Amino acid sequence: MPIGVSAGQKRVAVPTAVRLAGKMRIEQWDPADETTARACHDVTLAAHEVDRPVDPPEPYGLFAVYLREGWDRLPGETWVARADDGSVVGYYRVN
């Protein structure tokens, strides 16, 4: 029987390799692309609903500033992951 790491009843690590369920395209985000910025905000809202359901979500205007400029106005870039159908499934801002 493989050994796994668990905390209480919830497994926190698996003993085998994990693969993504499908393919995704990763591309650099153009700050002028408002549609993609809103889709990234939707991803953030979905994660927020699961991770911190009691706290109010970050409004789009504040999120858009973060995505374009970062919190400390540090130069950076944002990368977006898209599913095969073109929908945004994730993003990451690199400082």
Q: What is the pLDDT of residue 95?
A: 85
The DSSP 8-state label assigned to residue 49 in this structure reads H
**65-95: per-residue pLDDT in tens?**
999 998 888 888 999 999 989 999 999 999 8
Q: How far apart are the first and last CA of the chain?
A: 43
> How far apart are the C-alpha atoms of 74 and 78, rounded to whole Å?
12
Q: Is the overall model pTM greater than 0.85, yes or no? A: no
CA distances from 85 to 14, 22, 76 (A): 30, 12, 27
Distance CA 91, CA 45 (A): 13
